[in-house]
Amino acid sequence: MTRPSSSLPASLLTIAMSIVGSRAFLLPVALHPPHPTAGGRDILAVMSSVASTSPLHAAPASNVHVLPTENDVASAIHEIVERAATESISARGRFALAIPGGSVLKVLADLEPSSDWPRYTTLAFVNHKCVPVDDASSAIEAQARTKFVNRWNVGRVISLDGTSDGAHESSGYEAKLRALSEVELPRDVDGFPIFDLALIGVGDDGHIGSLYPNRDEIDVVDGPWVVPSYKKDPPGISLSLPVMQRAKYTVISAAGKSAKYPNGKAGAMRMAIMDENVMPSAFPAVALREYAAWILDGPNGSELINAKMSTVEDAVTAVFEDEVARAV
């Protein structure tokens, strides 16, 4: 499947979705709407009204792997990171990696690089709170540095300025990303960055990065790479939806459980992966349904209908084979 190219909001993009076999794609006719002049705004208003009351009707995600244990999911992520890094560095000498906070940091903390690929890595954050970057209690960067970044000796980390100003931090972070050469961070034909690998977290409410349900940030698809997020105080920043969708490899993982949540995020995974009656505006993870590889452990995949148990090897192989298939 080709990567998206659009100036329509995420909620409107679903109107342009069609099914071919088992895969959903965005019809080109809807990707370049009229400029929103007086007439254009009327058209968009009608489409928005339809979108807000229409189900997705998209095929379930096709690249989904349920592994037996939480450790298996971690092993798969480790292998994906290593393979993506080796592939990218072999091709152009650099590896652009985007990571979130939360459980992904724990997974990466247990990864011991098999070579010196971190030296050639540019690390950016999918989302980050607008706090001092050395605040160990709130800053993803501080936590990542403690857990693995410093130990790995990562070549470059793209940091926030450390203020509480969401607009300043989002524009500043985007400027730092744009300042990178295309060798370090490639661009597509629309000028969006292409991370070699983006690891994305999904919340119980379907948020991805800091793109939360029923908020304007999820609809920013017309140019910005980074957006401010005012869902919480202090605010945060997030890669925009088109950036998440355009990564060469986008991987979403969910593993682990607790006494309170014995099946982890099983409900959220079901909605994100296969629910036909949910909109991206109400459950943002749906917008990555056909762009991501989904790797879950047994509890987190327990609500998926007809899901079959996979293996680490098959999950890793499928991530890279899917990219080849999309490129054809």
Mean pLDDT of 237-241: 98
Q: What is the 3-state secondary structure (H, E, C) of 249-293?
A: EEEEEECCCCCCCCCCCHHHHHHHHHCCCCCCCCCHHHHHCCCEE
Q: Which segment of 47-51, 53-57, 266-270 scores lowest on mean pLDDT?
A: 47-51
* Sign of the dihedral defined by the CA atoms of residues 261, 100, 83, 147, in that order: negative
pLDDT of residue 101: 94
Q: What is the mean pLDDT of residues 108-117?
A: 98
pLDDT at 17 over 60: no
Domains of the chain, with CATH numbers? 61-327 (3.40.50.1360)
Model pTM? 0.84
Residue-level pLDDT at 56: 45
Structure confidence at residue 327 as a pLDDT band (50, 70, 90)? low
Residue 216's pLDDT is what?
A: 93
- Full 3-state SS string of 302-320: CCCCCCCECCHHHHHHHHH
State the average pLDDT over residues 256-274.
89
pLDDT band at 168, cuts 50/70/90? very high
pLDDT reported for residue 3: 57
Smallest CA-to-CA distance from 211 within 188, 177, 245, 182 is with 245
- Find the mean pLDDT for residues 11-15: 44
Q: In whole angstroms, how far apart are CA 175 and each of 172, 178, 227, 289?
A: 5, 5, 12, 29
Q: Which of the residue ranges 30-34, 174-178, 236-240 would you say has the lowest mean pLDDT?
A: 30-34
Share of the chain above pLDDT 90, in %: 75
Q: CA 36, CA 39: separation in Å to the nearest integer?
A: 7
Q: What is the pLDDT of residue 34?
A: 30
Task: Determine the pLDDT at residue 5.
Answer: 53
**Predicted local confidence at residue 47, as pLDDT:** 35
Distance of CA 167 to the CA centre of its chain: 21
pLDDT for 262 equals: 84
